[in-house]
């Protein structure tokens, strides 16, 4: 803030909000105003004796549509004008979600302004911003299958996402370790699959969480990973007279039957499995908003599991036990799982996301997955850009999660490396823009995090990915550094235990720590 003349001090006790829009947006707007006010109060104690001015905020959404999906218009304009001793901030947007983004930007433009011992808050005397995201799908993956995360922890992440304009929480709910999602129709899923009664997302908790996410402008993309990464929770088939719904569950030695303990893989040869999947998908239909998108996982099928299961070998009726045979079996599973989904939802146009795997290789993908129905989430390293190019050529839509930049669990196991915020920021996404690229996600796999340590693994790095996805700037992380330090402070003020990025001296002494860290 070089020039005083461009700065106006705000009277935080005189903030007036006016809502100009169609009916039905009051709850959404009221909740966001409350959130905005709470954040503003986190700023330094206010003891400003200089002249301060009232701030009037005028919010004008065009639509009252409360549903978020891939095509929600998130653009907004923000104009700040100081005249006649009043500061007026006008936010115009098509959707209420655009309005929310505008409020977030306004909050970022209100900063502490110290003058001797006085602490004021101030903003610029004139601003005009017309803003919209480069990518529609800007996500963070949280994994509650490996380790449970409390609803409070998930909400804290939703706050961080909102502050960073991320709009998709990809929720990898279940895995072979546990099945924490309460499913009324299928109570055995948590009876067998939850770590304990305390480690369950009840239907009421889900309802609360979904509303909270919506208010923060975040759509939840649930993932029920299948046919691999499924084990605990699926043990009750025999007992219920349905046969084995899954095989290799908790089988040892685990290295022979899966890539990570405990083992488990759904049994594609058991036709009852598809009825159970339909029940599960019906539950998703009833308890999650239909955003037109669902994640079926579909990664890391471990052939030696199926290949060592007599029931599955019998089903294959003497076919050669080759990779191709098992890929066909997997394809059959995927076809039947999709049919179960479509029956549950009673429409056939949900976009199904799956991870890149053997079955999504360009040579075979068309045999198994329609490019109209499937979105491919790529997790290949940045160097393997060819795969993305091939998938785009085949007219698949893709979501990019560059493994060697955006996998937030790396650095703590095997020979993986930690990616600091600058590396995360400088992930190229792709060499050129292509409308088939819906966006990207940073992924916080859950093996080595729980409520105690997840915050600092995710934050502020996810905010670096957020800027990449929102504006995809040509400039470097070094250029964004001071803005990023400020964003880290905002996250800490939200109660997020975000990682420290540098000694405080470097935060306070802008420009004095060039090329350091």
Closer CB to a second copy, residue 191 or residue 199? 199
Stretch that binds a second copy, among 88-96, 120-128, 292-300, 496-504 (CB under 8 A): 496-504
The least distance separating a second copy from the CB of residue 447, rounded to whole angstroms, comes to 5
Site for a second copy contains 249 (CB under 8 A): no
In the 3-class helix/strand/coil scheme, how is 178-207 assigned residue by residue? CCCECCCCCCHHHHHHCCCCCCCECHHHHH
- Find, among 299, 238, 244, the residue nearest to 266 by Cα: 244
> Kind of pairing, strands 86-93 and 246-247?
unpaired
- Find, among 477, 385, 478, the residue nearest to 432 by Cα: 385
The least distance separating a second copy from the CB of residue 147, rounded to whole angstroms, comes to 5
How far apart CA 440 and CA 398 sit, in angstroms, is: 8
Residues 6+ apart with CB under 8 A from 199: 148, 178, 180
How far apart CA 509 and CA 516 sit, in angstroms, is: 13
Closer CB to a second copy, residue 128 or residue 412? 412
- Find, among 441, 392, 429, 427, the residue nearest to 219 by Cα: 441
Site for a second copy contains 151 (CB under 8 A): no
Closer CB to a second copy, residue 74 or residue 223? 223
Q: Total residues contacting a second copy (rule CB under 8 A)?
A: 51
How far apart CA 32 and CA 455 sit, in angstroms, is: 23
What SS3 state is found at 148? coil
Stretch 403-442: interaction string toward a second copy, x if CB under 8 A: --------xxx---xx-x----------------------
The least distance separating a second copy from the CB of residue 184, rounded to whole angstroms, comes to 24
The least distance separating a second copy from the CB of residue 305, rounded to whole angstroms, comes to 16
Q: Which residues, numbered 300-359, are part of the site for a second copy (CB under 8 A)?
A: none
Closer CB to a second copy, residue 432 or residue 516? 516
Residues 6+ apart with CB under 8 A from 464: 421, 422, 424, 425, 477, 480, 484
Stretch that binds a second copy, among 61-69, 99-107, 252-260, 478-486 (CB under 8 A): 252-260
Stretch that binds a second copy, among 46-54, 304-312, 397-405, 501-509 (CB under 8 A): 501-509
How far apart CA 351 and CA 293 sit, in angstroms, is: 5
Could you say which of 83, 182, 238, 300 is catalytic? Answer: 300
How far apart CA 339 and CA 135 sit, in angstroms, is: 30
300 assigned to active site: yes
Q: Applying CB under 8 A, which of residues 37, 118, 502, 510 lies at the interface with a second copy?
A: 502
Site for a second copy contains 250 (CB under 8 A): yes
**Measured between alpha carbons, how far is residue 319 from residues 55, 301, 307, 324 in Å?**
74, 19, 12, 10
Whose tokens are 């509650």? That residue is 144
Closer CB to a second copy, residue 100 or residue 229? 229
Strand partners, 55: 15, 87
Q: Applying CB under 8 A, which of residues 48, 446, 461, 485 lies at the interface with a second copy?
A: 446
Site for a second copy contains 517 (CB under 8 A): yes
Site for a second copy contains 482 (CB under 8 A): no
Stretch 199-228: interaction string toward a second copy, x if CB under 8 A: x-----------------------------
The least distance separating a second copy from the CB of residue 330, rounded to whole angstroms, comes to 25
How far apart CA 398 and CA 401 sit, in angstroms, is: 10
Site for a second copy contains 255 (CB under 8 A): yes
The least distance separating a second copy from the CB of residue 161, rounded to whole angstroms, comes to 18
Site for a second copy contains 252 (CB under 8 A): yes
**Measured between alpha carbons, how far is residue 278 from residues 85, 272, 338, 397 in Å?**
62, 10, 9, 25
The least distance separating a second copy from the CB of residue 215, rounded to whole angstroms, comes to 25
How far apart CA 160 and CA 166 sit, in angstroms, is: 8
Site for a second copy contains 504 (CB under 8 A): yes
Which helix (DSSP H) or strand (DSSP E) does residue 76 occupy?
Answer: strand 76-83
Active site residues: 300
Q: Rule CB under 8 A: which residues touch a second copy?
A: 146-148, 177-178, 195, 199, 232, 250, 252-255, 260-262, 411-413, 417-418, 420, 446-450, 452-453, 455-456, 492, 496-506, 508-509, 512-517
């Amino acid at each position: 803030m070089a020039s005083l003349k461009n700065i106006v001090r705000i009277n935080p006790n005189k903030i007036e909000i006016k809502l100009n829009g169609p009916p039905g947006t009051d709850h959404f707007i009221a909740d966001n105003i409350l959130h905005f006010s709470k954040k503003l109060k986190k700023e330094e104690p206010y003891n400003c004796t200089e002249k301060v001015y009232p701030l009037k905020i005028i919010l004008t959404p065009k639509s009252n549509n409360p549903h978020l999906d891939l095509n929600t218009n998130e653009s907004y304009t923000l104009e700040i004008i100081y005249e006649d001793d009043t500061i007026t901030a006008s936010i115009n947007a098509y959707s209420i979600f655009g309005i929310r983004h505008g409020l977030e930007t306004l909050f970022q433009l209100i900063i502490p302004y110290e003058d001797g011992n006085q602490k004021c808050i101030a903003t610029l005397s004139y601003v005009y911003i017309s803003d919209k995201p480069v990518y529609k799908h800007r996500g963070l993956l949280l994994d509650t299958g490996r380790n449970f995360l409390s609803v409070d922890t998930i909400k804290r992440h939703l706050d961080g996402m909102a502050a960073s304009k991320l709009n998709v929480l990809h929720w990898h709910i279940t895995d072979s370790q546990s099945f924490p999602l309460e499913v009324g129709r299928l109570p055995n899923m948590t009876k067998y699959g939850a770590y304990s009664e305390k480690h369950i997302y009840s239907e009421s908790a889900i309802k609360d969480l979904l509303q909270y996410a919506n208010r923060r402008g975040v759509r939840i993309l649930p993932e029920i990973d299948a046919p691999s990464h499924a084990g605990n929770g699926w043990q009750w088939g025999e007992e219920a007279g349905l046969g084995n719904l899954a095989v290799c569950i908790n089988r040892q030695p685990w290295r022979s039957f899966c890539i990570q303990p405990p083992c488990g893989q759904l049994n594609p040869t058991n036709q009852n499995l598809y009825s159970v999947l339909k029940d599960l998908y019906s539950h998703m239909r009833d308890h999650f908003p239909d955003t037109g998108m669902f994640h079926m996982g579909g990664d890391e099928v471990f052939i030696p599991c199926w290949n060592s299961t007599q029931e599955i070998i019998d089903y294959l009726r003497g076919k050669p036990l080759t990779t191709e045979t098992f890929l066909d079996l997997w394809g059959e599973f995927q076809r039947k799982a999709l049919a179960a989904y479509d029956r549950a939802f009673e429409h056939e146009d949900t976009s199904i996301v799956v991870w890149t795997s053997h079955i999504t290789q360009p040579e075979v993908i068309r045999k198994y997955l329609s490019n109209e129905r499937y979105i491919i989430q790529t997790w290949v390293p940045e160097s393997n850009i060819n795969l993305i190019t091939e998938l785009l050529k085949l007219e698949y839509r893709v979501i990019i999660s560059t493994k060697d930049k955006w996998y937030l669990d790396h650095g703590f196991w095997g020979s993986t490396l930690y990616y600091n915020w600058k590396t995360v920021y400088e992930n190229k996404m792709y060499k050129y823009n292509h409308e088939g690229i819906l966006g990207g996600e940073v992924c916080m796999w859950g093996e080595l995090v729980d409520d105690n340590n997840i915050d600092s693994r995710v934050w502020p790095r996810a905010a670096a990915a957020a800027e990449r996805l929102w504006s995809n700037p040509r400039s470097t992380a070094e250029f964004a550094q001071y803005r990023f330090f400020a964003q880290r402070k905002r996250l800490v003020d939200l109660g997020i235990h975000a990682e420290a990025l540098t000694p405080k001296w470097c935060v306070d002494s802008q420009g004095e720590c060039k090329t350091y860290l």
